[in-house]
Structure formats: structure tokens, C-alpha cells
Amino acid sequence: MRILFVGDVFGSAGRRIVREHIAHVIAERGVDLVIVNAENAAGGFGCTPAIAEELFDLGAHVLTTGNHVWDKRELIDYMQSVPPDSHERPRRVLRPANYVAGTPGHGIYEGTLPNGQAYAVINLQGRVFMASNDDPFRKMDAILETIKAKVIFVDFHAEATSEKVALGWYLDGRVTAVVGTHTHVPTADNRVLPGGTAYQTDVGMSGPYESVIGVEKEMVLHRFLTGMPGKFEAAKGDPRMAALLIECDGVTGQAYTTQRLLLGE
Ligand code: FE2
């Protein structure tokens, strides 16, 4: 079984490059399950229902998010427009599972592909240098008690490399993949850990690389040089789609191989 995970889609440039590449990658690589992190897809801040629908139309089965999940209010209504046991698209948009209990939306989705393959996707957020949320390590222990699928993909949306590496080791042999998002810079450490878990500290952004992590570089430089607040806008130059391709056993959930993709125009 093959899983394609597309890293943080950033703004219109990110959506355009994903539109350009995702279909041929799915077809040529024989991808079964497609997961896309969409938290910055709307101009760098959040995701709208229309953009979520477009990403589903392009082949995504599940969309993950992170700290920008609430930036577009209409996404909250979209996520809540179907019941918790639904398999419709709005239920397949996730927010981090370790947010405070009672937060809108869901952090876990368990589904079945048309070929009968069961899978689960879990979205988590880190605690180092980020807003306070529950412990992602113990939250995963609790979640794994409830998951029936063997193929389990974890998007760990976190700032610190140490926290991501640590969660990878903590879950090695217990899930199919632990893949990091949020820093927007792809890391070169993709591998299969000894217990059979695919791992990469950060998949990187699918967006404009002529930027400072997606934002127009002049705007960010102005802030660093003057300390003054200013508007941030999504950049457009040098768009690339950053993704991780994972091959795994559909019966045991064990990963075999990983391959990094960084596709430009
Ligand atoms: Fe983020």
C-alpha cells in the first residue's frame, strides 16, 4: 500500500503547484491513500470550505491542520456540519487531537478505501514553543487503545525538531508513520525506524519557496530589521510541492520505504 502525504499547502501558489502535480504523482506512483495538510491553504492563514472541497476533488482522502485551523471561521461550521460518525468530506478535515476537550471538530479519522483497506489518520500538535494543548505523547497512548485500523498515519504539527524526533521514537512500531509539519522547511531525515514506523521531522511546505516560510520576504525582513508590526502576505515565487511517499504493508501497517518529493514548476 502506498500513502502520499503533502506538506503544508501555503496560499494560492501552494494550491497551484499541488494542482499541477498531485494527480500525476498519484497515478504514476500507484498511491492508495492521500493526506494533505491544509492549515495555510487560504492565503497562508487557515483553510476555507471551498479550498477543502478543491483538495478533496484533487484526490485527498483526509485533510490535516494545526495552529491555524481556526483562522477561517467558516471552516469550523463546515467541520461541524456532519455528525461525528459521518464519513463525508467535512468529517475528514481534522484539527489536532490533543486540543482541549470540547473543542470543535475531531483529531482522528478512521476510514476505509474503496479496495477495503482500513486506515486511520491522527493530527497532533506539539507543546514546545506553541500554544498550550494536551500532552501529545500520552494522548497517542489513549488514542491507540481505540483505533482498529493497522495502517495509522500521524501528522505531528510541531515547532521543535526534538519533540518531533522524540514522538517518532515513542510511536515506533505502534503506527505506520509519524510525519512532521508546521516549520515549512523539509528535513532530510526521512527513514523507516527499526520498529517499522516511517518518519520525517518535517515534510516541508507546498508553497512559494522564494519567501520566508511562505510569506513575502520583504515583509518579514522589515519586521526583523525594525521590530515594527506589519502586514504579512503570502508570496508567489518558486512554488514547490513537498511530499512524502510511504510504502507499507496494508495488513500489518508496517512501513517499508519512504521517499521525499520536492516538485517545482
Ligand atoms: Fe502551523
Contacts of residue 46, defined as CB under 8 A and 6 or more positions apart, other chains included, come to 39, 40, 68, 69, 70, 71, 72, 75
Nearest in space to 5 (alpha carbons), one of 263, 256, 261, 224: 261
Indicate the pTM of the whole model: 0.97
Ligand 1 centre to CA of 50 (Å) is 20
Quick one: pLDDT at residue 62? 98
Question: Which pLDDT tens digit goes with each residue over 244-259?
Answer: 999 999 999 999 999 9
In the structure, ligand 1 is a single-atom ion and the residues with CB under 5 Å from it are 66-67, 182
pLDDT score of 119 more than 90: yes
Ligand 1 centre to CA of 136 (Å) is 16
Question: Which pLDDT tens digit goes with each residue over 157-202?
Answer: 999 999 999 999 999 999 999 999 999 999 999 999 999 999 999 9
% of residues, the chain, pLDDT over 90 = 98
Ligand 1 centre to CA of 165 (Å) is 17
* Topology annotation, domain 2-263: Purple Acid Phosphatase; chain A, domain 2 (3.60.21)
